[in-house]
Amino acid sequence: MTTQITMPALSPTMEEGNLAKWHVKAGDKIEPGQVIAEIETDKATMEVEAVDEGVIAEILVPEGSQGVKVNTPIATLAGEGEAAQPAAKQETLKAQQSPPPPVGGGRGRGDGGSPAAKSTAATPTPDPAPRGGGGSERILASPLARRLAEQGGIDLSGLSGSGPNGRIVKADVEAAAKAPRTQTQAPQQSREVSKPAPQQAPATLESYGIRSGTYDLVPLDMMRKTIAKRMTASFRDVPHFPLTIDLEIDALLKARGEINKRFADNGVKISVNDMCIKAAALALKLVPEANASYTPDGIAIHHHADIGVAVAIPHGLITPIVWAAETKGLAQISAEMADLAQRAREKRLKPEEFQGGTFTISNMGMLGIKSFASIINEPHGMIMSIGAGEKRPIVKNDALAIATMMTVTVTCDHRVVDGALGAAFLKAFKSFLEDPMAMLL
């Protein structure tokens, strides 16, 4: 039986991807778990593994193709011993690979989950109605749907898929999670989430009086389009407010210098950012109500402080995560961040390394920025913006003095963190940074 290998959804927000490279060619025999292609998303380039065994009958989408929609057939797989059934490649490309959608409407969501990078979900073409599956039959579901079902304790065998050929997709699992316990599956209409009214396409520069030919237009890549969509949605839909505080960091700088000097032979090199990650994690555990996310069903209080740290990469940024940062020492945090930042710049992070988290830190102090306020990275309840440390005149014991000061701002989701709660978090964060020895307790 000939089946189709489709473009997988490698993240919750992925709508399209670039087929960067094929590791197989027509006529090759493949086995489950074998790497067959590399897919470039808006965040990273990921290897894709085969789900079924068989022989590659035809490559439908050549490597280097951009903007390939999720669930678009990219190759056909014939069962072992079957003759390859060539498909109309050009017709598939024309029909399936449409231009990228315009930037604009659509509600962005945070990175909440860790979908597996193993995909291709081969979907049978002759059999029109395999459902979620029962008995000993293989359940037809996308890797992302399987991961979400496992995390939510949902039995896939009781679901009907709305994807191609009855394939269970993310929306089906989310609908099942929201449905009452007595209801095994929701009707198709209930899966449809209310969408905001479509926005008007932005006006051309010429309509503003800018003459054609006086500028160069750099096309939007997948990362920049995703950033534009998600940040617009967050700023528009999340009721947010900033809280700002000044910290004296002379003691922190002294402690950092002593640590680096003492453990230099072990390759330890702690940064101010590393100490901020640790202090933020401890403050979130001290004020657990601030380590939260808003959901339509209630406020989620997280068990660990999973800190996402903004890393600038070409054409955008990404937030790799230090998981359970409150349980890790400064040396471990420093080593993890160095590795994550390096692989982020190479676009080699795994989905589980940048999807999820409970809190975000953005540090622009090294660029000389004194203070700023960041846009919330949903579903996080807060994001911290760290400015540059600098010598400033302050009043100490009713006398003028000079101290190294640093301005920190947290942008809060008012649905989760109100003013008093945000202030309590900042107070705890300040206590750890101004007295670094407290982080050792």
205-238 confidence digits (pLDDT tens): 888 889 989 999 988 887 888 888 889 999 999 9
Q: Write the secondary structure of the chain as one string of H (helix), E (strand) and C (coil).
A: CCEEEECCCCCCCCCEEEEEEECCCCCCEECCCCEEEEEECCCCEEEEECCCCEEEEEECCCCCEEEEECCCEEEEEECCCCCCCCCCHHHHHHHHCCCCCCCCCCCCCCCCCCCCCCCCCCEECCCCCCCCCCCCCCCCECHHHHHHHHHHCCCHHHCCCCCHHHCECHHHHHHHHHCCCCCCCCCHHHHCCCCCCCCCCCCCHHHHCCCCCCCCCCCCCHHHHHHHHHHHHHHHHCCEEEEEEEEECHHHHHHHHHHHHHCHHHCCCCCHHHHHHHHHHHHHHHCHHHCEEEECCEEEECCCCCEEECEEECCEEECCEECCHHHCCHHHHHHHHHHHHHHHHCCCCCHHHHCCCCEEEEECHHHCCCCCCCCCCCCCCEEEEECCCEEEEEEECCEEEEEEEEEEEEEEECCCCCHHHHHHHHHHHHHHHHCHHHHHC
Domain boundary among 162, 191, 220: 191
User: Are 390 and 265 in a shared domain?
Assistant: yes
| Beta-carbon count within 10 A of 218 CB | 8
User: Are 416 and 313 in a shared domain?
Assistant: yes
pLDDT of residue 89: 47
Q: Residue 11: which domain range?
A: 3-191
**pLDDT, tens digit (0-9, with 9 covering 90-100), for 11-63:** 766 788 888 889 999 888 888 888 899 888 866 778 888 888 889 989 999 98
Domain boundary among 131, 161, 191: 191
Count of domains observed in the chain: 2
Task: Please check whether residue 387 is in contact with residue 372, taking contact to mean a CB–CB distance below 8 angstroms.
Answer: yes
pLDDT of residue 200: 56
Q: Is residue 199 part of a domain?
A: no
- Confidence check: pLDDT of 400 > 60: yes
Q: Is residue 225 part of a domain?
A: no
CATH of the domain at 388: 3.30.559.10
- Mean pLDDT, to the nearest integer, of 101-124? 42
Listed range (91-105, 200-214, 416-430) with the worst mean pLDDT = 91-105
User: Are 265 and 129 in a shared domain?
Assistant: no
d(CA 146, CA 164): 16
Q: Is residue 18 part of a domain?
A: yes
**pLDDT, tens digit (0-9, with 9 covering 90-100), for 273-327:** 999 999 999 999 999 999 999 999 999 999 999 999 999 988 788 999 999 999 9
Which residue in the list 240, 303, 315, 414 is annotated as catalytic? 414
Listed range (8-17, 216-225, 264-273, 409-418) with the worst mean pLDDT = 8-17
User: Are 186 and 242 in a shared domain?
Assistant: no
User: Are 246 and 174 in a shared domain?
Assistant: no
CATH of the domain at 154: 2.40.50.100
User: Are 271 and 184 in a shared domain?
Assistant: no
Catalytic, 23? Answer no
Query: Which of the four pLDDT bands, split at 50, 70 and 90, describes residue 347?
Result: confident
User: Are 251 and 118 in a shared domain?
Assistant: no
pLDDT of residue 284: 98
Listed range (101-115, 211-225, 241-255, 369-383) with the worst mean pLDDT = 101-115
Q: Is residue 216 part of a domain?
A: no
Q: Is residue 227 part of a domain?
A: no
Q: Is residue 245 part of a domain?
A: yes
Q: Is residue 196 part of a domain?
A: no
User: Are 34 and 178 in a shared domain?
Assistant: yes
Domain boundary among 191, 225, 246: 191
User: Are 186 and 248 in a shared domain?
Assistant: no
User: Are 243 and 334 in a shared domain?
Assistant: yes
Report angle CA 210, 98, 131 to the nearest 5 degrees.
140
**pTM of the complete model beyond 0.95:** no
Strand partners, 217: none
Query: Which of the four pLDDT bands, split at 50, 70 and 90, describes residue 141?
Result: confident
d(CA 37, CA 49): 7
User: Are 178 and 253 in a shared domain?
Assistant: no
- Mean pLDDT, to the nearest integer, of 376-383? 96
User: Are 29 and 125 in a shared domain?
Assistant: yes
Q: Is residue 426 part of a domain?
A: yes
